[in-house]
Copies of this chain bind each other. A is one copy, B any other.
Amino acid sequence: MSFEAFRAEIGRLADVLCAVNLLQWDTRTMMPPGGVEGRAHQLATLTSLAREIATGPALKSAIERARDTLAGGGSDAERDEVEFAAGAIATLERISSRLVSEAAELKTRANAAWIEARREDDFAGFAPFLQRTVELQRDIAAAIGSEGHPYDALIGTYEPCMTLSRLRPLLDELRTELAPLLAKARDLNSGVDLAMKRFPVERQKLFAKELAGRLGYDFARGRLDDTVHPFEISMTRGDVRITGRFREEWLPAGMFGVWHEVGHGLYEQGIAPELTRSAFAIDFVNLYAVGGTSFGMHESQSRLIENRVGRSRRFWELHFGRLRDAFPDELAGVSEAGFWRAVNAARPGPIRVEADELTYDLHIMLRVEIEAALIAGEIEVRDLPGLWRERMRDLLGIEVSTDREGVLQDVHWSSGMIGSFATYTLGNVMGAQLFEAATRDRAVSAGIDGGDYGPLRDWLGHHIHRHGRRFPAEALLERATGEALSTRSYLAALRAKVDGLAA
């Protein structure tokens, strides 16, 4: 009975957080401009109610009573869930209400300043807000606490158990190994320039949706809408929404963007039904309703679908015909092989979100280094534009001409997010490990070979999705692959790709 009482209180929290997710989804897809001010109030009130429930006496005493009862019985899953909630709430409580409300208030102003600064290419206009963000995030890091580098506390809010000292060798390894691959790949020209054509948006969307369904996304428990910056968001496993942005002038962005979100969506749609409204579907520290266990593991699912599946040669052998049916004029004279080469072209550029697989992680390295040094107080905000240019030269061999294409390009810092960038690379790495392990299963590899992605989804569902947040990312990874976190699979996949492109 007392576990049910605990679940009832957790359910209330989950309901409020799912409502917050709907407000967020609506803000980014449907809300008319006039709704901005009201929405800010609604989000603030619901988020503060969620915090009140999460840290309130009712949940605390429910946890205590559940512990007492479960000591004399109950399942491992029940005990795990109660302890998971207790631990997460303790971390949440270390971040005081004052810090939370200061961060929320700063975020609104910093974001507006960033939009303006980016438009005007005026780093100085954003610098004071970034300075204040760094200070506040330092305070949050100190409040959470960490044994090693202060940056670890922030990384941990996105990727529990990850630390800077474990990230660095992994990133160094990638840098060393990616360099020759990039050198080899950048000289390979696909001969197809997709940017020369205009692809009507409605047909792009139909094609992307068709493949989203084939990849296993369940539209009876989701929907695809337009937005400016695509995202996936979930209101329990029964309602997992994805968004896309389609542009006439660049076909790949729209469809790969959708399949990326499909990867996230499969994760949330695959959470076990019994975890609905449970503690294992709540990110307590970020007060966010989500079933995926960490940002990195979530990203592993999206990268796996987008890159390991969607950019593979076999995928386009199977589906290019449908794409050419949808765009007979636009793709006249383009071969399946040429198209595959075009969507895998490697070309160093200044913008992270436009980067290919061989350069993406170099963008992440730059950001991790800078964030760690900022939090440690080793560099100053005012030095960032110069530092950015210098490191881009070292890492990617390119000249950054404006801050708009440099230090001002990402939304993260203006949203108070410091510590999240590494999860993109962790996603690349874990996604490749999981894909390699999944395709050792004959049913999975045969399915992919024949264009049936059901066995892949089921494998991921069984090993990853259904568990929700019960197990940490690396524990899940090891159980699923028999291997600890490692760049091996990822580098092997990239090497194979470059070899294919060179063939």
Contacts and interface: CB of A to CB of B under 8 A. Distances in A.
Report whether over half of chain A's contact residues are helix, strand or loop; otherwise say mixed.
Answer: helix
Interface string A212-243: 00000011111100000000000111110100
Contacts of A35: 221, 235-236, 238-239
Given A19-B19, A23-B19, A23-B22, A239 B34 contact: yes
A42 interface: yes
A219 B30 CA distance: 12
Contact of A30 (B19, B30, B277): B30
Contact of A15 (B18, B33, B34, B42): B42
Nearest to A277: B41
A104 interface: no
A409 interface: no
A31 B235 CA distance: 10
A438 B47 CA distance: 44
Interface residues of A, number: 40
A290 to B, nearest CB: 14
B36 A238 contact: yes
A31 B277 CA distance: 18
A278 to B, nearest CB: 12
A46 B46 CA distance: 9
Contacts of A34: 218, 220-222, 237-239
A31 B239 CA distance: 7
A22 B21 CA distance: 12
Contacts of A41: 11, 14-15, 277
Interface of A: 11-12, 14-16, 18-19, 22-23, 26, 30-39, 41-42, 44-46, 49, 218-223, 235-239, 241, 276-277
